Amino acid sequence: MNLTLPKKHKKILNMAVPAAINSLLDMLQVITDLIMVGRISAFAVAAVGLGLQSLMLVFAVMTLLHVGTNALLSRFIGSGQIQRASMGLSTLLRFALFLSLPISLLWYFLSAKLYIWFNTAPEVIALGSEYVQVLTIMMPFIFIKMVFISALHACGETKTPMYIKLLSILLNIILNYILIFGHFGMPPLGVVGAGIATVIVNGLELIVYIILYVKNKMPYSPYWHYSSALLKRALKVGIPASIERSLTFGSFMLFTLIIAEYGTETLAGYQIGLRVEGLAFMPGIGFTIAAMALMGQGLGAKKPHQAKEDVLLVLKYTSGFMFFISFFMIGIPEKIVWLFTDDAKTIEEASLYLRIVGVSQIPLAFNFVLSGALRGAGASKQTLRINLISLWFVRIIPAFLLSWYFESILFVYLAMIADTTVKALWLWKTFDKGEWQKIKV
């Protein structure tokens, strides 16, 4: 019996599976620091966890590059304008470098203050401040790297980033082992060692992408070109997406502020729970990358109905995958959390979080895929409105009120999954209405 998949399924899976694996590896590389410093203390976990969460503000700014690059270049790829796509890539690479410099300065002076604003324990403040300031060095690396990765995703090339990430995560584990605990003649540097390892790995990743680019090993030609017109087109889509992510980050930090009031173990448990959940939804984000690229390519080729069909198929795959993962999050969270820490109270808190969010994985799949597809179509203003209204009026404000009235972390988490469900329904209604077909990028 012939079990060969239809051509459409193969096309989507060839794009989505490597991107999903790459996203999973990306999260594994992030949580490697948490796993290893988890053997030091709960203070170290809270310091690194909050530091990584604060780094999400930088990634929120980088959404400008990710969405703008993907939306613009995928249109050019879909319409067969490879030279224009190459010029767009060159423009965005130079812009990424210039953008990263002021962000690096702001990060260095402000990020350490987050630990003070969150009223964390003195031990967490001391460890976290050193950790996040080390990460400043890698800012230009990750900005430029983001443009390269987004450009490859825009043309459906998701295998190269996957292979690069696979090698980098192995190197990250080795460097963490040497620098955190002190081996092969190196002194034990603790959380600072984790930061140094992260900087080195990101720098080496960027070098690989640059070599591939200048040696014509990418689908794009290496130009030294800057076009303000092309940049404006990318920013038209990217800026609303970046504003959305930045304000969403601010909302999440307020949400974390509520959780921090319940103590260090609860905060550490929440940070671990976020990373474990990330293992579940990062592959889902990989499918979202495919949805964004397919949407842009379909609209560039003047085939909006094909773009919609492709997105719906990606949504089916993503929902099925995340539904499967939810069984582990609900059924055996303690066994998963144990990989990060052996502190009993932290395990209990993280397990509670995972059981709660486990029931909302299908709505989360809708959030990922439909948000990505709408951004790929240039409808980033619509996703901005949906996410912000739901975040504030379904998650943040109710979470504050419920926490104050019931004094239980459980009700805070219930507000969170209510927000996930409302956004899923709203995004579906927006996507199904089809007005995104009329947007020009």
pLDDT tens string for the chain (441 positions)? 344 666 777 777 788 788 878 877 777 776 677 777 766 777 777 777 777 767 777 777 888 888 889 888 988 898 888 899 899 999 999 999 999 999 888 887 776 677 777 666 777 777 777 777 888 888 899 999 999 999 999 888 888 998 999 899 899 889 988 888 877 877 778 778 888 888 999 999 999 999 999 998 998 988 888 889 999 999 888 888 888 887 777 777 777 778 877 777 787 788 788 777 777 777 677 788 888 888 988 888 888 898 898 899 989 988 988 899 888 888 888 888 887 777 788 888 888 888 888 888 899 999 989 998 998 888 888 888 998 899 889 988 898 898 888 878 888 888 888 999 999 999 999 999 988 888 776
Q: What is the pLDDT of residue 118?
A: 67
Q: What is the pLDDT of residue 210?
A: 95
Q: What is the pLDDT of residue 53?
A: 67
Burial class (CB in 10 A: 0-12, 13-18, 19+), 324: exposed
Q: How far is CA 82 from CA 101, 128, 156, 233, 282, in A?
A: 30, 45, 13, 16, 30
Q: What is the pLDDT of residue 181?
A: 83
Model's pTM, two decimal places? 0.79
Angle at 273 between CA 332 and CA 317, to 5 degrees: 75
Q: How far is CA 130 from CA 35, 177, 197, 305, 311, in A?
A: 19, 19, 14, 51, 43
**Backbone torsions φ then ψ of 425, nearest 5 degrees:** -65, -40
Residue ranges of domains in the chain: 7-438
What's the half-sphere exposure (Cβ side, CA atoms, 13 Å) at 78? 26
**Which two structure tokens, joined as six digits, stand for 161?**
């980033």
Q: What is the pLDDT of residue 2?
A: 42
Residues counted in the chain: 441
Among candidates 58, 85, 145, 11, which has minimal Cα distance to 441? 85
- 8 A C-beta contact, residue 441 and residue 236: yes
Q: What is the pLDDT of residue 315?
A: 92
- 8 A C-beta contact, residue 368 and residue 281: yes
Angle at 403 between CA 121 and CA 248, to 5 degrees: 75
Q: What's the Rg (C-alpha) of the chain?
A: 21
Among candidates 298, 263, 262, 258, which has minimal Cα distance to 8? 298
* Residue 78 to residue 73: CA distance in whole angstroms: 9
Angle at 204 between CA 91 and CA 224, to 5 degrees: 20
* Residue 320 to residue 229: CA distance in whole angstroms: 41
Single-letter code of the amino acid located at 303:
K
* Residue 71 to residue 167: CA distance in whole angstroms: 28
Q: What is the pLDDT of residue 144?
A: 94
